Structure 1
């Protein structure tokens, strides 16, 4: 008898005296919990996202769609980036104001090759205001999961307000569970028993989030 058969046998014995329940899943599982806290409009929801991203030590910028290429070019220049990893479906216009060498997202790339890339620029699937979380699902403008885990600098573009929701339950409604979901709350970090924080342990040391909307928040297109 295999280990699998032994485990399933124990499960069957444990459930032997349980009455069958044919109730549909949506009725069998209680879902009356609060889906979002408060009743924020779109502008305040985006503001909450920016505030919570900053609390997690992400660098937050705000600009219009027209200002985005210039802002991304400036962020890469300030970082001193010479190479940038580009997902296959990223809008080419986003990098129109920079001459940094583009590195394609290739399945054959080794971890060492990815580690030598200075920056990565992606879009996102959805952003959660209450938790300050960016979710990637491997879409065309996000690429493979590993390209946002190995390079040390990640610039993530969020379209506001369309890609911003208030809560995790609202985010889950937009996501497909069979896709490779990556949930990011600030730059990669961990703490030891003495609470000494170390960043860049299992992901980018620097996360820059660009909130792109239709209204400029400063003459320079940067609302830090």
Structure 2
């Protein structure tokens, strides 16, 4: 018996008591699992997000709501970026003067995007417990392609408004009909020898700007100060 036969046999046994005419959406699914693991203040939730982003080797930065442009300029300068692809709804003040702003356009090919130094986007929601950024192709985030091809991604997260504790809370905010990209750190993979390689199927470098009220320093909280 093949492995395929074993798997299909288990599926058939699991469905043995299900009437053939029953459809999946006709039976309510119990959702009595924990929605959030522990109680936290909004500040503690943002702090947890910062810790988990750093665990995934994202570089975490903090600024107040009016300091986004200066922080983005600093990050692009440190990277030596001269060209940036920007989604159509990105606030105009987020990019510094003198940078070559390339508007997101369906005509941009993967080769075109590979020649761009960086991409700057907003965020739909960020998940603290998993250190995950979720993009949903909103105007300040653009098409999925622009965040997968350039080697450097700067993502601005408005805190605490765009930060939730858990994946269930994030799903409640997202429209399932929109294309979603879930990002947990820079793109990376490893071979059987566990040699880590970054930038295989996405940006090699991820800078996350937490824009909003300052998060008090605590054990393990990354800081770029």
Q: TM-score range by the shorter chain?
A: 0.7 to 0.9
Specify the alignment match of 1:5 in structure 2.
none
Gaps of 5+ in 1: 1-10
Specify the alignment match of 2:124 in structure 1.
125
C-alpha deviation, 1:99, in angstroms? 1.6
The answer (yes or no) to whether the contact 1:63–1:223 under 8 Å persists in 2 is no
Q: Distance in 1 between matches of 2:145 and 2:18?
A: 46
Cα 1:32–1:142 change in 2 (3 A) is same
C-alpha deviation, 1:215, in angstroms? 3.7
Specify the alignment match of 2:192 in structure 1.
193
Q: Distance in 2 between matches of 1:17 and 1:28?
A: 14
Specify the alignment match of 1:147 in structure 2.
146
Specify the alignment match of 1:83 in structure 2.
83
Q: TM-score, normalised by structure 1?
A: 0.86
Q: Distance in 2 between matches of 1:49 and 1:216?
A: 11
- 1:54-203 matches, within 5 Å, as 54-95=54-95, 97-203=96-202
Q: Distance in 1 between matches of 2:32 and 2:106?
A: 43
The answer (yes or no) to whether the contact 2:124–2:162 under 8 Å persists in 1 is yes
Gaps of 5+ in 2: 1-11
Cα 1:29–1:69 change in 2 (3 A) is same
* Structure 2 counterpart SS, 1:121: strand
Q: Distance in 2 between matches of 1:69 and 1:174?
A: 27
The answer (yes or no) to whether the contact 1:124–1:157 under 8 Å persists in 2 is yes
Q: Distance in 2 between matches of 1:215 and 1:89?
A: 26
The answer (yes or no) to whether the contact 1:155–1:210 under 8 Å persists in 2 is yes
The answer (yes or no) to whether the contact 1:49–1:130 under 8 Å persists in 2 is yes
* RMSD of aligned Cα (Å): 2.4
Cα 1:207–1:121 change in 2 (3 A) is same
C-alpha deviation, 1:177, in angstroms? 1.1
- Large movers: runs of 4+ above 2 Å: 14-17, 19-25, 214-218
The answer (yes or no) to whether the contact 1:64–1:216 under 8 Å persists in 2 is no
Cα 1:18–1:44 change in 2 (3 A) is same
C-alpha deviation, 1:67, in angstroms? 1.3
Q: TM-score, normalised by structure 2?
A: 0.86
Specify the alignment match of 2:41 in structure 1.
41
C-alpha deviation, 1:17, in angstroms? 6.8
Q: Distance in 1 between matches of 2:20 and 2:117?
A: 58
C-alpha deviation, 1:28, in angstroms? 1.7
Q: How many residues align?
A: 207
C-alpha deviation, 1:214, in angstroms? 3.1
